[in-house]
Structure 1
Amino acid sequence: MNISDVKAYIITVSTSKYREYLEGKKPQDISGDLAEKMIRERGAVVVGRSLVDDDVHMIRSLVESLVLREDIDMIIITGGTGVSPRDVTIEAVKPLLEKELEGFGEIFRWISYQKRGGIAMLSRATAGIINRKLIVVLPGSPDAVSTGLELILDQATHILSIAKGL
């Protein structure tokens, strides 16, 4: 599998941006835009993007439908990974993971610790496999998205080849 074979979908989780969207505004999604740019620059294809509220059912429902699509290999989710009561992305996604790539979160936090110190322990970034798709859940800050994608895109084709049994 080559990186040009990888088809990605990006989900941005944000209550404030979702409210703006419901009000008819076009919310600025810096992290989602960055994710799309980085994925495309590596040579992969972005087949779609969605913006959702910090809502377990909304996030889970979208992920459950996307993992059934044949035109998606990788789902990148940004936002909702902190420790505030509204941060529910991990609670929505983690129960769906068939295989968790615990090393991704560990390495992500290690890199974050080197950059920002102890605040890295608040990160709940994770990755895993659902229905032979690579799922990556990242904090919503542009720096976290950049760090996480640099890390996962280096291994994405290898992970997907194994997950798909190629």
Structure 2
Amino acid sequence: MKKLLVSLSILLSFGIQAQSEQCNLQQSKFISATTVDKEDLICIAKNSQKPYTIFYTLASWCGPCRLHLPDTLDLEKTGMVDVFVLLVEAEQDQRINNAIDFIKYTDEKVKYVVLKDELYGTKVGKRNRKFVTEITPPNFENIDDYSKVILMDKSGNTVYVSNWKDYNKDWKNSKKMYENKIIPLLK
């Protein structure tokens, strides 16, 4: 089983191999994931084969993160976006393996990355707050919630950063939110 997981991790890493080489991305010393910061995400978006890249924030214990993941991954079917799951728990956090198992269970081909511990620290709330503050353009409301869709264009500009208010009190319906907020931006 362990060999199978290692083989699967190697195959998944090919999904970001080109970006890894061009962006000088580093592998975590603790888990089978590439570590990233804001500049790495910009580089990944610039080197994507698609016009847009979505980074979807996920924590293992976050109900909405888990609920919205399948709909987020479905956005790749538009042919316009690359989707990456951005793990917000620390590389050494014991819960992060639960997050990785969950996303692999949802779709074995999911591309995922993790925020760098040395830059964002190890406390999940502080990590997320620091990252969200960095990535959210000044023209958007900065809310440090989870289950965020961060949409970047091919030039590495952050086009959209979602938050809980985008769901208009229907937080269980991510498809509706994506149809209203994200899909129109892809045209």
Q: TM-score, normalised by structure 1?
A: 0.37
